[in-house]
Structure 1
């Protein structure tokens, strides 16, 4: 059974618990800023392991010292589901271990 797409209000309520994350169309996104490129690249492998464990994969865009994570659920028509929120929470735990902040962008 495919995960249920969340309503805009459910997404907004959930994002209140995920500072730095925002709805962007049918996705949730956050950009993390690091000290340099190696630090930004290092977190990608950790996120990939979490994605494999959840069998849920976000789009990761790595630039010099920034990593943008964008997540939606393909099996729910590309909408945001609880899977996206669970992934976001787990990524937040990893990011906190790396001491990174967020930027809009």
Structure 2
């Protein structure tokens, strides 16, 4: 079953995550990080994930950093949403990680987006798309076709903020507490009006960023706060 037919509802996604403790939901995908005992063991894990991907014809975004492997599964043919194929792949990856002696560190997986305040997204989107070599994604976002750079999304508003660009840093809700505490300790202004979905952080010079979680973020949504 492929395409949109096997997209998971939020209820089914939550049930799947309950038996996938290594994984977190993040902006239309399942993400985790595995720390292997050695770089060689990390490569063994990558090879195992690759073999399963070829067998199932369902491939993850994967990044190798010495003895850590960053993995993200999403179903591009379903519009960048989580499907049963993603949960099956995540299950197989967890089993391969256990065989390789790797431990899950999902809190290390951060996702960064750049938000731009604008009254007219269509007027400026093409400039950003061409300059970055990006493609249009779900909901009008601009995304790196190779999954390397941060996505760009346009926050349509009749009253753009004086600081029009801001960074959204997505953490899993389970790991977000210490990040919020450490950020507040820097002296930044913390606006919790939309917590736990996101917290707006403003530095001493008026620059903004948002610390975001998956709370309240439905699987079919794609835009940031």
TM-score range, shorter chain: over 0.9
Gaps of 5+ in 1: none
Mapped to 2, the partners of 1:85 and 1:54 lie a distance apart of 12
Contact 2:42 2:100 in 1 (8 A): no
Mapped to 1, the partners of 2:98 and 2:22 lie a distance apart of 12
Mapped to 1, the partners of 2:46 and 2:22 lie a distance apart of 18
User: Is 1:56–2:58 an aligned residue pair?
Assistant: yes
Q: Which residue of 2 aligns with 1:39?
A: 41
Deviations 1:38-70 (A, max 9, x none): 211221111111001111001111101100110
The structure 1 segments of at least 4 consecutive aligned residues displaced by more than 6 Å after TM superposition are none
Q: Which one has a larger percent helix, Structure 1 or Structure 2?
A: 1
From 14, 18, 21, the counterpart of 1:19: 21
Mapped to 2, the partners of 1:35 and 1:99 lie a distance apart of 7
The two structures have a TM-score, normalised by structure 1, of 0.93
Mapped to 1, the partners of 2:81 and 2:14 lie a distance apart of 14
Contact 2:29 2:72 in 1 (8 A): yes
Deviates more, 1:27-36 or 1:76-85: 27-36
Please report how far the alpha carbon of residue 15 of structure 1 lies from its aligned counterpart in structure 2 after TM superposition.
Answer: 0.6
Please report how far the alpha carbon of residue 9 of structure 1 lies from its aligned counterpart in structure 2 after TM superposition.
Answer: 2.4
Please report how far the alpha carbon of residue 5 of structure 1 lies from its aligned counterpart in structure 2 after TM superposition.
Answer: 1.6
Please report how far the alpha carbon of residue 17 of structure 1 lies from its aligned counterpart in structure 2 after TM superposition.
Answer: 0.3
Q: Alpha carbon RMSD of aligned pairs, Å?
A: 1.2
Deviations 1:54-100 (A, max 9, x none): 11001111101100110000110010000000001111111111121
Q: Which residue of 1 aligns with 2:11?
A: 9
Higher RCO structure, 1 or 2 (CA under 8 Å, sep 6+): 1
Mapped to 2, the partners of 1:96 and 1:43 lie a distance apart of 9
From 80, 99, 102, the counterpart of 1:100: 102
Q: Which one has a larger percent strand, Structure 1 or Structure 2?
A: 2
Please report how far the alpha carbon of residue 37 of structure 1 lies from its aligned counterpart in structure 2 after TM superposition.
Answer: 1.5
Larger-Rg structure: 2
Give the SS at the match of 1:31. strand
